[in-house]
Amino acid sequence: MKQLAENLWLLQYPLTVLGTQHGRNVTVIRLRSGQTVLHSMAPFTPADLATLQSLGTPGWLVEAMLLHDTYAKEGHAAFPALPFLGPPGFSEVVKFPTLPLLPAPAAWAGELEVFPVEGTPKLKEHAFLHVPTHTLIVADLIFNFDPNEHGWDRFFHRYIAGFKRYPGMSRIFKLCLKDRPAFQASVRRILDQDFDRIIVGHGRVIESHGKALLLRALEDAGVL
């Protein structure tokens, strides 16, 4: 576990997709109440669970898009009593009851805000803003892999996933974009927020200049 800022931590897990190393980032946000929000699930070990318990009282589990169901059942099994929040339709994907991400829980007010990424009905991603640390948390809106990757990882990400440079948007995300005006309006609302750091769902944390790099990635992809 790595502490990124006050009340903000990152756990990283291996995740292989079609033979490439994607990794899975789990973000832990501690609210002023002492309760924590676990953003993205993973195959938590007993040691992981003990560490998570030490950071505060686990309050909510979150998956922020429909395609982020890989470890949802494992997370739910690890914390069966906690409310599990997901995008519309997530319950049907994971086959257990989940609660909506919006409206966000009242206990998050002033600390953790949720913004839907519109126009992608097969994804329904939601971005999270941790207000005290000026941190944006995304799932698959952009990726930020190692620019020095090589072999199959490099070939797949560059020529199949379509990344021109990092951070970047995947070709799959672009293919799922069905309502460009709605997408652009929702992204503009996100870009209007006060953030500098971006925690991506897969790859390296963008520690600074996150807003400019997000804008560049979307322009590179031709979606903004």
Q: Which residue has the tokens 């803003």?
A: 129
Identify the CA nearest to 135 among candidates 2, 41, 5.
Answer: 5
pLDDT at res. 136: 98
pLDDT at res. 14: 87
Distances (CA, A) of 31 to 40, 102, 130, 195, 205: 17, 18, 10, 18, 21
pLDDT at res. 100: 98
| Domain ranges within the chain, ordered by starting residue | 2-87+113-220
pTM above 0.85, yes or no: yes
Domain 2-87+113-220: state its class. Answer: alpha beta
pLDDT at res. 214: 98
pLDDT in tens, the chain (224 residues): 999 999 999 999 988 877 878 889 999 999 999 999 999 999 999 999 999 999 999 999 999 999 999 999 999 999 999 999 999 999 999 999 999 999 999 999 999 999 999 999 999 999 999 999 999 999 999 999 888 888 878 888 788 888 889 999 999 999 999 999 999 999 999 999 999 999 999 999 999 999 999 999 999 999 99
pLDDT at res. 158: 82
Phi, psi of 171 (to 5 degrees): -65, -35
DSSP assignment of the chain = -EEEETTEEEEEE--EETTEE--EEEEEEE-TTSEEEEES-----HHHHHHHHHHSEEEEEE--STT--TTHHHHHHHSTTS-EEE-TTHHHHHTS--EESSSPPGGGTTTEEEEE--S-TTT--EEEEEGGGTEEE-SSS-BB--TT--HHHHHIIIIIS--SSSSB--HHHHHT---HHHHHHHHHHHHTS---EEE-SSB--B-S-HHHHHHHHHHHTT--
